[in-house]
Chain A
Amino acid sequence: MTLRNLILSALMVGVISGLCYGLFQQLQVNPLIYAAEVYEVAEPAAATASDGHSHDHGEAWGPEDGMPRMAFTLGSNITIAFALALIMISLMALHNQKSLKPKLNALSGAAWGIVAMFCFFVAPAMLGLHPEVPGTNAAELESRQIWWLFCALASALGIAVVYYGSVLLKAVGGLIVAAPHLIGAPLPTEHGFANTDPVAVQALTELTSQFYMMTAIGMLILFIIMGVLSGLSLKKFVHNGA
C-alpha cells in the first residue's frame, strides 16, 4: 500500500501546488514570456541545422496561442509539480523510515520545501544558469541540461550528507554542494540576446530582471505549499513503519 499512498499523496500535493503555481505563472510570468517572444528573431537556417534538432519534417506540433497554450502550460505545471512532489514525499518517507531524527510534519515540511527550492531553483538557476526569457543567448542546450541536473542532484545529496552525516562528513557534504559551482555552469561566450537591436536589448534586459523576480516568488510559493502539504500528507497517509 505504500506505493499507492505515496502516489496518491503526491498527486494531491502536485495538483494543488501546480494549480497555484500555474495561476501565478498565468498572471505574472507568462506576460513576460510573451513579451520577450515579440523580440525573438527567426533563427537562421544554419543555426537551426547545427543545434542538434532536425527540422527536415517542418515545424513540429505545438499548442496554439491562447487557451490551448495556457491549458498545456497548466497541465505541464501540474505534471512537474506532481513529479517533484513524488520525489519529495518519497525522500520524506525514507527519512521517516530510516532516520532517528524527528518525523516530518507541516512545519518541517515547509523547511524541506525551502531546501527543495534551493536544490531545484536557487542553485541550478539563480546561482548557475540564470532563468532565461525566450531569446536569451545561452550555451549549448545539452550541456546546460546536464549541468542543471548535476547541480540539482549534487545540491540535494550534499545537503543530505550535511544533515544526516557525522561531523567529519558534513564538510564533505558542503564540498558536494559547492562542486557544481566550482566547476562552473556552462555560460554563453557572449552575454546578451539573439536580437541585437538596442531597443530590443533594453526591453529584454528589463524583462529578464522581472522574470528573475517573478520566477523566484512563484517558486517560493510553489515549494512552500508543496513542502507543507507533503509533510502533512506523509503524517496522515503514509505509515511510518520500519
Chain B
Amino acid sequence: MQNIQSSVATQTPSLAVSDTKQILAALALGLVLVLFVGFAPMEVIHNAAHDARHAFAFPCH
C-alpha cells in the first residue's frame, strides 16, 4: 500500500508539468485532422468529404 501511495505522489507533479505538452499535442491532432478531411488532395478523400468541404466553404475543385 505504501509503495502505491508513494508512486502516486511522485507521479502527480510530472503529470502537471507535461500538461502544456498534452494540450499542444491535442492542438496538433486537431490541425492535422482539419488538413486531412478538409484539404487533402487525394481524390478519394475529396469525394467522400465533398459536400462537407463546400458547406464549410473550404476551397474545393
Residues of A participating in the B interface, judged by any CB pair closer than 8 Å: 1-3, 6-7, 10, 21, 25, 29-30, 33, 52-53, 60-63, 69, 72-73, 75-77, 79-80, 82-87, 89-91, 93-94, 97, 120-121, 124-126, 129-134, 138, 141-142, 144-145, 148-149, 215, 218-219, 241-242
Contact = CB atoms under 8 A, between A and B. Distances in A.
Interface string B1-28: 0000000000000011011101111110
A63 B47 contact: yes
Given A72-B49, A83-B33, A2 B22 contact: yes
Nearest to B52: A76
A179 B60 CA distance: 23
Nearest to A22: B52
Given A63-B47, A83-B30, A84-B34, A73 B22 contact: no
A7 B33 contact: no
A176 B55 CA distance: 27
A91 B20 CA distance: 11
B25 A3 contact: yes
Contacts of A91: 27
Contacts of B24: 90
B33 A241 contact: no
Given A29-B55, A145-B39, A215-B56, 12 more contacts: A2-B19, A6-B22, A6-B23, A25-B52, A30-B55, A82-B33, A85-B30, A87-B27, A94-B20, A97-B23, A141-B41, A219-B56
A93 B16 CA distance: 13
B23 A90 contact: yes
Contact of B29 (A7, A124, A219): A7
B33 A149 contact: no
Contacts of A21: 55
Contacts, number: 151
A133 B54 contact: yes
Contacts of B34: 80, 83-84, 87
Q: What are the 8 closest A-B residue pairs judged by CB atoms, nearest first?
A: A86-B30, A62-B47, A60-B43, A76-B52, A83-B33, A125-B57, A90-B27, A87-B30
Contacts of B59: 129, 132, 138, 141, 144-145, 148
A76 B43 contact: no
B47 to A, nearest CB: 3
B27 A121 contact: no
A114 B33 CA distance: 21
Contacts of A142: 41
6 contacts: A6-B26, A25-B52, A73-B52, A80-B34, A87-B27, A145-B58
